[in-house]
Amino acid sequence: MLHVNSISKTYHSKPALRDISLYVNAGESIGIIGESGSGKSTLGKIILGLEKPDQGDVHFRGSNLHTLKAQALKAFRRHLQIVFQDPVGSLNPKLPVWKSVVEPLENFPDVIPSFLKEVRLDRKKIAEVLFQKVGLSPELLERYPHQLSGGQKQRIAVARGISLEPELLVCDEPTSSLDVSVQAQVLNLLKKLQRDLNLSFLFISHDIAAVQFICERIVVLKDGILVDAFLTRELFSTARHPYTKMLVEMSMEQDQ
Amino acid sequence: MNIQMPRINQIPFFFKNQNLLIQCGIIFFMIIILITLIGPFIVPNDPFTANMSERLAPPSSVYPFGTDHLGRCIFSRLIVGAQSTLGITALVVVTVALIGIPIGLLIGYIGGRLDTVFMRLADGILALPEFILAIAIAGFLGPSLMNLMISIVFVKWIAYTRVVRSIVITERNKDYVLAAKVGGSSSWKIIRRHMFPQIVSPVLVLATLDIGKVILTISSLSYLGLGAQPPAPEWGAMLNDGRPYFQSAPELMIYPGLAIFFVVLAFNLMGEGLRDKWDVKSR
């Protein structure tokens, strides 16, 4: 479904990504692990078509995302959505949250997600269904972002992300700004949505346990270079790259 | 013992929970608006009728503030003059906002060469002192109220464009804008739905504070003879009319001067109050 072919990107003459290739099959979830500054967020933005790579290309369902014209790119947007790391910045502070949630569906009036068949007309009703989908009470519809907790805001961001029923949802550290207890809830929600909607995730994180929970395959980035790629069940295999082993050990130590 | 404080319910919503600055400003503001609206119907004398036998008359029951050098009622002229001074000011500020805001939104969001062109143009205009430039333009176009307004608008739009642009530039790279892009929103929709609400309160503060400045500019230019032309009653023009008589009849200048002073004060109080309330940083 998604093919990333030897992508490189340089910021201010510092290489952020070097020759990255990966692929995502339909219905499959991929984890991208790396420490901060390893270029994983940049990779996410390139895959979404928000930034252009210096070299290489991204093919989604056979089309090169970065050579598409604006109209065609928009048509692909409905299959590619995102949940950002920081729910504070990802919702407009001046809008009641339900308006943020229904915005993608406003832009694609011909998209009818499977879970919205009956209430296609009323925007508020659509928001209500989406809120239910992510386990939020409809009472919160009219609230503004600053009146909600971090976990609630992140659920709203997830609701917006799934509203078009995309094939691929890029999650850029979706839990790392949340409290530990809330992290688990949001991860469970993502897992449930993955099953219900047959979603693929591109799950960007430095939290190995979270990636392990969500994804079938994992790639490891270090300083913009892809150092390791493997199936999740092979995480503890001796064939792992030394850097991967180190990350695993570090996360085990944290848990103790 | 439990004493219940009487609850005051009569206070209108826009007055409640405001700080003292805004409250004073609002009271002044209401009085000014009232005078402007109903003033012309309640003035004791026709502001245009000259009565040479009564020139420079002291205050009396017929002429509350006395008469000017042509025997016209100063009080009536002040009240009617409020309409032209405030009307022009409102028109100028609204026009400036209507020009400055869209340009700021556009160049802030699109950036690039368009932004550079407009900002260099603005720098060019601002390199000259604002007031001198307004005088030059008003002088070049010829003295009339219309030209006065054009000259002020020409200089003022930049402030609005700058404020709006700087807000848009800080907002446009935030995640919620990226999320809107990923959600398929057009640039136009992002500007309308996401950028515009961010600029409303700062622009309101700027406009309120600007009203005072615009009144002063209009009055100053009218005083210099570049704005309202006689016999139209306008506060700055009235100051100009009274100038030759300043030593013998200072009230000719004192009353219009006080009127300008209080109106500017009212808008400045309100503007500063709103700025504190909305926590808008002055840029």
H or E stretch at A128: helix A123-133
Q: What is the mean pLDDT of residues A13-35?
A: 88
Cβ-defined contact of B183 to A107 (cutoff 8 Å): yes
Tell which A residues from 13 to 72 touch B, by Cβ distance under 8 Å. 45, 48, 50
Contacts of A80 in chain B (CB under 8 A): 182
Predicted confidence at residue A191, as pLDDT, reads 92
Looking at residue A24, its amino acid is V
Q: B25 vs chain A: nearest CA distance in angstroms? A: 27
Ranges of residues in chain B with a pLDDT under 70 are 1-18, 280-283
Q: What is the mean pLDDT of residues A144-170?
A: 92
Residue B10: per-residue pLDDT: 58
Nearest to B184 among A84, A90, A108 (CB): A108
Buried b (16+ CB within 10 A) or exposed e, B119-136: eeebeeeeeeebeebbbe
What is the average pLDDT across A105-109? 89
| pLDDT tens column, A207-219 | 888 999 999 999 9
This prediction has a pTM of 0.82
CB spacing of B185 vs A157 below 8 angstroms: no
- C-beta atoms surrounding B25 within 10 Å: 23
Asked if pLDDT for residue A53 goes beyond 70, the answer is yes
Q: Would you tell me which residues 147-206 of chain A have a C-beta closer than 8 angstroms to some C-beta of chain B?
A: 157, 160, 164
Q: Is A121 helix (H, G, I), strand (E, B) or coil?
A: coil
Among candidates B212, B222, B223, B228, which has minimal Cα distance to B260?
A: B212
Give the pLDDT score at B62: 79
pLDDT of residue A76: 85
Interface test with A, best of B110, B172, B174, B182 (most A CBs within 10 A): B182
B175, B184, B197 member nearest A74 (Cβ):
B184
Task: Convert the pLDDT of each residue in B130-158 to its tens digit.
Answer: 788 888 888 888 888 888 888 889 889 99
- pLDDT given for residue B283 in this prediction: 42
Specify the DSSP class assigned to residue B59.
P
d(Cα B150, Cα B226) in Å, to the nearest integer?
Answer: 12
| Residue type present at position A208 | I
**Could A157 and B179 be called an inter-chain contact, meaning their C-beta atoms sit closer than 8 Å?**
yes
pLDDT tens readout for residues A65-77: 888 888 888 888 8
Which stretches of chain A are assigned E, i.e. beta strand? 2-11, 14-24, 30-33, 55-60, 63-64, 80-83, 168-172, 200-205, 217-222, 225-231
Higher pLDDT, A117 or A51: A51
Question: Do the Cβ atoms of A89 and B194 come within 8 Å?
Answer: no
Residue-level pLDDT at B4: 55
Share of chain A above pLDDT 90, in %: 34
ipTM of the complex: 0.88
Please give, rounded to a whole number of angstroms, the shortest distance from the CA of B181 to a CA of chain A. 8
pLDDT for B234 equals 85
How far B84 CA sits from the closest chain A CA (Å)? 37
Is the CB of residue A231 less than 8 Å from the CB of residue A45?
no
- What residues of chain B lie within 8 A of the CB of A103, using their CB? 180, 183, 185, 193
Single-letter amino acid code for the residue at B31: I
Residues ≥6 apart with Cβ < 8 Å to B33: none
Q: Which residues of B touch A84 (CB under 8 A)?
A: 175, 178-179
